[in-house]
Amino acid sequence: MSGAEAVLKAVEAPLFWLGAATAAWFSVCTVYRLLSGLRVWFLGNGRLVSPAKLGQWAVVTGATDGIGKAYVEELGRRGFSIVLISRSQDKLDDVAKAVESKYGVQTKTIAADFSSVDIYSNIEEGLRGLEIGVLVNNVGISYSYPEFFLSIPNLNSFIDTMVNINITSVCQMTRIVLPQMVDRKKGAILNLSSASGMNPLPLLTIYSASKAFVDFFSQALQTEYKSKGVIIQSILPFYVATKMSKIRRPTLDKPTPERYVRAAINTVGLQERTNGYLPHAIMAWVTDLLPSSLFRSYVMGMGLSQRARYLSKQKTG
C-alpha cells in the first residue's frame, strides 16, 4: 500500500462519520423548523392573549384605522377592555361605540396627536389605575410617495413628525405601561415595525430607519425583560390593505387588516420577532436570500417608478 493510499484509508472513516453527522444535523434542523412552522402558522398560541392570562385592559395607539382598528376589534372579541388612543375624538367615539356594542366590553378613549411630545403626561393620567395586559404600539406614518431625502417637502418638520410618531411614541408608551407589567410579572407589548425595517429602503429612508429602530428596540427590550414575565414582540408586516399603504383591494399577500391581525396575534409568545402572517414570512425568507445590494437596487428602481407616477399625476391633476 502506497503512502497516499494509507492516508486515504486513515481519513476515510472520520470523513464518513463527519458527513453522516452533518447530514443528521441538517435533517434535525429541517424537521425542527417544519414543526416550529406548523406550531406557529397552523396551531398558533391564541389562548395566551386573554384578559385572564395577561390583564384586563388593552391599550392601542393609532386605534381608529387599519391595523390598529383591527387590533381593537380582535382584542375586544377576546374580552379585553380597551383604551383607544388616536388623534380624532370623533373617530375614537365611533370605533369605541362599535366595539362596545358588538362585544359588550368597556372602552376608554384618549385623544392625542403623536406628532407632539407634550402629550404623554395626559396619556399617563388617563391610564392610571388600569390593569394593562396588552399594549399595541401601532401608531405610525409613512411617506406620501417615495422621494430623495433632500427633496422631501418641508424636510425639517417632516423629520420631527416622523421621529415623534414612529419612534418617540413607542419609547414613551412603553415607559408608561411596562412598569406595572413588570410588577405583575405578566403582559405583552406588541410593537408594529415593518418589513421596511428589515433592510434599508432608498427613497423611504427615514421611514425605513424608524421602523428598524422599533425592531431593534423591541428585540433588545425583550432580552432585558423576558425573565420578568413580559412579552415584547416586534411585528414586521409587508403590505396590508390599509389607508396608509393606499392598497384598496386585498389579495393573498396583501391581506385585510382583520385577516392580518388574526394571524399575527396567534404568534404572541411563540415568536419574539415575526412577520405576523405566513405569506409575509415566506416573502421575508425570499428577501433574505437576495444579496443586499441587489435588493436595494430593485427597491430603488421600484421607488423611482412610483415617484415618477406620483409627480406626473400631481402635474396633470
> What digits encode the pLDDT tens for the residues 44-89?
777 899 999 999 999 999 999 999 999 999 999 999 999 999 999 9
State yes or no: pLDDT of 198 exceeds 80: yes
Least confident segment among 18-22, 82-86, 182-186, 303-307:
18-22
For the segment 137-153, the average pLDDT, to the nearest whole number, is 96
Least confident segment among 16-30, 239-253, 255-269:
16-30
pTM (2 d.p.): 0.88
Annotation says 207 is catalytic: yes
How confident is residue 41, by pLDDT bands cut at 50, 70 and 90? confident
Contact yes or no for 124/101 (Cβ under 8 A): no
Place of cell 436570500: 289
| 2 Cβ neighbours under 8 A, 6+ residues apart | none
Q: 3-class DSSP state for residue 58?
A: strand
What Cα–Cα distance (Å) separates residue 9 from each residue in 5, 17, 36?
6, 14, 41
How confident is residue 129, by pLDDT bands cut at 50, 70 and 90? very high
From 103, 143, 207, 260, the catalytic residue: 207
Produce one character per residue of 57-84: b if its CB has 16 or more CB atoms within 10 Å, e if not.
bbbbbbbbbbbbbbbbbbbbebebbbbb
